[in-house]
Amino acid sequence: MSKHMKLNRRNFLLKSGALGCSLAASPLVTPIAMAAAPGDNRLVVIILRGAMDGLDVVRPVGDPHFAALRPGLNQGDDALPLDGFFALHPSLTDLHPLWAKGELAFAHAVSTPYRDKRSHFDGQDILEAGIGADGRIRDGWLNRALAGMTNSEMRTAFAVGREDLLVLSGAAQVSHWSPNSVLTLSPQSRLLLANMYRDTPLFSASMSEAIALAETLDAGGDAEDYGDVREAMMQSTQAGQRGGVEEIAEFTAAQLLEETRIASFSITGWDTHSGQRGALTRALGELQKAIMTLRRDLGQVWQNTTVLAMTEFGRTARENGSGGTDHGTAGALVLAGGAVRGGKVYGDWPGLDELDLYQARDLMPTGDLRAYAGAALTGLFGTSRSALETRVFPGLDISEPPAIIR
């Protein structure tokens, strides 16, 4: 037996041929570690769905126009100091010490090439495809990067979440996992899974519920109406063992400690048209939890890890009448990890005077989000400039890549 394919629950299930799973269920039993990968660096991409307000997360308190644009959102807040010009949202108290350690950075006034229509769906597709706004969406930039790596067949990418991620979609083989899956199982398969996952806390609860669901469906229940079983699965998905995002981050870290080198998952809740103070605090709490869980569980591997948390576009410079902000253009990128050159806000600040705003309403983009993703790929995996500009991010000019990796 290959030393890279040691016998364990996952490989046994893969090779046993005992499972009859629906497509939705396949993430639960997809092999997690496929083979050893060359190199020790890790990359985690977190998609922040809903358009994070970068001006609230990384506040340009040194800009003379900032306070007047947001008199309600900033009232009474004690933002956490960064570099004298920028300050961090006050809810990120656990992340803040990473700034001084050089493990946390930001890029401000960045965006994808997407402009003007401000649609979440289109913006997220452009973000994950890594192409220009007029390009044809085919696959994800992270998958294209993986496919072009030397010995890429020996590398494992892992998409974690409840929906397909375009960013890791494409020709390169990618494994997926989701904490809630619907299974169609034979009685023998149910017994096998119950035994195999009995001592695996992450899977055991979901596995029991999936088996209960399968039994309900066998008894003639409707897949769209299976009552208490469905409710139990939904509650388990939302809560997990200790909470959904934390569970996903723990699972991701466990794979990164093995052969996995690239992972991606998403966090929702960033569309803050009203009541932004509370909604953004909750969303930032989830992001903070994910990053701090990765740091805790990765141990020494954290020093070789880069986390990029990116969103489809920013939000308006001015707060609206509902205590929120509307869809904008430029925003902020969050960078964390021991491999990051932290303690810095990257990018060229455009200013917040009305004449400096994009269409007199949004933060003006001065940097391409893809350039930072490309810099991470180069620094971590040696992806060449030519590969970045022609295959991974076609049409991107990355003549001066930001030095974000140590």
What's the pLDDT band for 26 if we cut at 50, 70, 90? very low
Strands across the sheet with 80-81, in order? Answer: 58-59, 87-88, 80-81
CA dihedral 118, 373, 136, 311 (to 10 degrees): -20
Fold of 32-179+243-392: Alkaline Phosphatase, subunit A (3.40.720)
Distances (CA, A) of 115 to 112, 220, 222, 329: 8, 50, 44, 7
Instruction: Please give the pLDDT value at position 132.
Output: 77
Give the tens place of pLDDT for each residue, 196-235. Answer: 555 555 455 555 555 555 555 455 544 444 344 344 434 4
Q: Three-state SS for 125?
A: helix
Least confident of 28-32, 121-125, 175-179: 28-32
Cα gap 115→249, rounded to integer Å? 32
What's the pLDDT band for 182 if we cut at 50, 70, 90? very low
Which pair of tokens denotes residue 258?
Answer: 């093995």
Taking alpha carbons only, the member of 237, 189, 184 closest to residue 215 is: 184
Cα gap 116→210, rounded to integer Å? 43
Q: For the beta carbon of residue 387, count every other beta carbon within 10 angstroms.
A: 18
Mean pLDDT, rounded, for 53-59: 98
Q: Three-state SS for 242?
A: coil
- DSSP letter, residue 392: I
pTM score: 0.76
What's the pLDDT band for 32 if we cut at 50, 70, 90? very low
Helices 244-256 and 276-298: crossing angle in degrees, nearest 10, is 30
Mean pLDDT (the chain) is 78
Instruction: Please give the pLDDT value at position 294.
Output: 97
More confident residue, 30 or 70: 70
Cα gap 221→125, rounded to integer Å? 36
Q: Three-state SS for 287?
A: helix
Q: What angle do CA 126, 263, 43 make, to 5 degrees?
A: 90
Intervals of CATH 3.40.720 along the chain:
32-179+243-392
What's the pLDDT band for 63 if we cut at 50, 70, 90? very high
Mean pLDDT, rounded, for 147-164: 63
Share above pLDDT 70 across residues of the chain, in percent, rounded to a whole number: 68
Which pair of tokens denotes residue 202?
Answer: 């992450």
Q: What angle do CA 179, 264, 42 make, to 5 degrees?
A: 120
Share above pLDDT 90 across residues of the chain, in percent, rounded to a whole number: 51
143 near 157, Cβ under 8 Å? yes
More confident residue, 394 or 28: 394
Least confident of 124-128, 217-221, 263-267: 217-221
More confident residue, 348 or 157: 348
Which pair of tokens denotes residue 266?
Answer: 């998403």
What's the pLDDT band for 118 if we cut at 50, 70, 90? confident
pLDDT at 71 over 90: yes
Helices H, strands E: what count in the chain?
Answer: 14, 12
Cα gap 67→59, rounded to integer Å? 10
Cα gap 316→13, rounded to integer Å? 50
Amino acid at 125: D
What's the pLDDT band for 303 if we cut at 50, 70, 90? very high
pLDDT at 263 over 60: yes
Give the tens place of pLDDT for each residue, 373-404. Answer: 999 999 999 999 999 999 999 989 888 889 99
